[in-house]
Amino acid sequence: MKNLCKKINKYVPVASMVIIPVGLIVAIVNIAAIKSSRVADFWNDNIASVIRKVLAWLTGWIPFSIAEFLLFGAVVIIPIIVVAVIRYSERKGFVKALVGLLSVFVLLYAVFAAGLGIGYRTTKLDERMDLV
């Protein structure tokens, strides 16, 4: 068991040990929301609203859209990330660098899915407002 823990610590960054399980939980909730609009309604009304408020508080002081900045800046950001991963992998190991990069993508997915994405699976607006 100690050898397993040492190997995990050698190849997995500490933050990844939290981010990846959170991403898996969000993926499971997302699948449940796809199957049931009641799950999506509950998540959107109770949990996602808090996540959106936190994101608004964190990014509200920035006078432009961070998502658009990342989208347009991807041409510059992606090569910078690749170079950073290569340099980091020379010092810490390729697997650890790859797991760290995977953690960044899992974090982006988890924040989007938990805060916004599950909201696309809620009950349709016309049904909620009894317009049908």
What's this model's pTM, rounded to 2 decimal places? 0.80
Give residue 43's pLDDT: 95
Looking at the chain, which runs of residues are DSSP E strands?
Answer: none
Higher pLDDT, 89 or 59: 59
Whether 40 shows a pLDDT value over 80: the answer reads yes
Whether 33 shows a pLDDT value over 90: the answer reads yes
Digit-coded pLDDT (tens) for 63-116: 888 878 878 888 888 888 888 888 877 777 888 888 888 888 899 899 999 999
Q: Taking the C-alpha atoms of 53, 54, 60 and 62 in order, what is their torsion angle to the nearest 10 degrees?
A: -150
What mean pLDDT comes out for the span 27-53? 94
Whether 5 shows a pLDDT value over 80: the answer reads no
Residue 125 contacts by C-beta under 8 Å, 6 or more apart in sequence?
Answer: 131
Output the average pLDDT for the chain. 87
